[in-house]
Amino acid sequence: MPNQSSLDVATILELEQKLARAWLDGDRAFIETLLAPDWAIIDVTGRVLTKEQVLTEAFVSSDRQIKTMVIDDVKVRVFGNAAVAIGRTRASGVYQGHDVSIVLRFTDVFVRGDAGWQVVASQGTVVS
């Protein structure tokens, strides 16, 4: 029988895949639920963006259109009610009218609360 830690790892691996699919499908409700209210990300330029800033850019503005996204090479470490996931994102789409393809290494920090696991912080670095 699997222990709680291995169940948590499986859950977070699944959540990472669902999050990638939600970005592709434009599933704002899922994204808003998974990202904690005070979630922030350090993007590839080093800017710190709030949840609202990212959601506005993704769903209100037409600047960012994601066409493909694959998440792989994900490793998860669980520390009780906290967990860290690191992995790779390969994505393509249109940004401010220009076709772009990018490979990122990411870190997502999860915390388990009453609503289950939520991402509280993220960071992305471009792989050259």
Alpha-carbon Rg for the chain in angstroms = 15
| Torsion angle of C-alpha atoms 34, 29, 65, 16, degrees rounded to 10 | 30
Tens of pLDDT along the chain (128 residues) come to: 567 789 999 999 999 999 999 999 999 999 999 999 999 999 989 999 999 999 998 899 877 789 999 999 999 999 999 999 999 999 999 888 899 999 999 999 999 999 899 999 999 999 98
**Domains present along the chain, CATH in parentheses:** 4-126 (3.10.450.50)
Q: Which residues face 86 on adjacent strands?
A: 75, 107
Whether the predicted model's global pTM rises above the 0.75 cut: yes
Report phi then psi at 10, rounded to 5. -60, -40
d(CA 23, CA 47): 20
Question: Is the Cα dihedral 77, 117, 86, 45 positive or negative?
Answer: negative
Residue type, 101: S
